[in-house]
Amino acid sequence: MLKDILYTGLGMGVVLKEKVENEIKKLEEEGKLKKDDAASLIASLSTKGKEEEERLKELFKTSIKEVIDELGLATKEDIAALKKDKASKK
């Protein structure tokens, strides 16, 4: 379910990016935006999009960790520590 939500969000981002690029190209073709300005705007939006993607990834990771903690689920690290402790007692 979480993967579906993540993929849906990413898909919406891709669609939005394409629509914005198309609108910028239309403005350029109509002479309402200079070619250099259009390229600069697209580059700026792309950079901001990548920064937002990283921010959302970190937010998602943090949220998942909080849920795992609240549910009291064992992490990989917890299991590895238990295995190590069990092996050292043999």
Range of the domain at 29: 2-89
Number of Cβ within 10 Å of residue 22's Cβ equals 10
Question: Between 82 and 10, where is the model more confident?
Answer: 82
Give the integer Cα–Cα distance in Å for 34 and 27: 8
Give the integer Cα–Cα distance in Å for 37 and 25: 11
Q: How many domains does the chain have?
A: 1
Mean pLDDT of 44-71: 86
pLDDT value, residue 42: 83
CA geometry: angle 10, 26, 37, nearest 5 deg: 85
pLDDT value, residue 2: 64
Could you report the per-residue pLDDT of 6-40, keeping only the tens digit for each?
677 777 777 888 888 888 888 888 888 888 888 88
Q: Confidence band (pLDDT; 50, 70, 90) for 52? A: confident
Take residue 20 and report the two structure tokens written for it: 């914005």
> Residue 62: which residues within 8 A CB-CB, separation 6 or more?
none
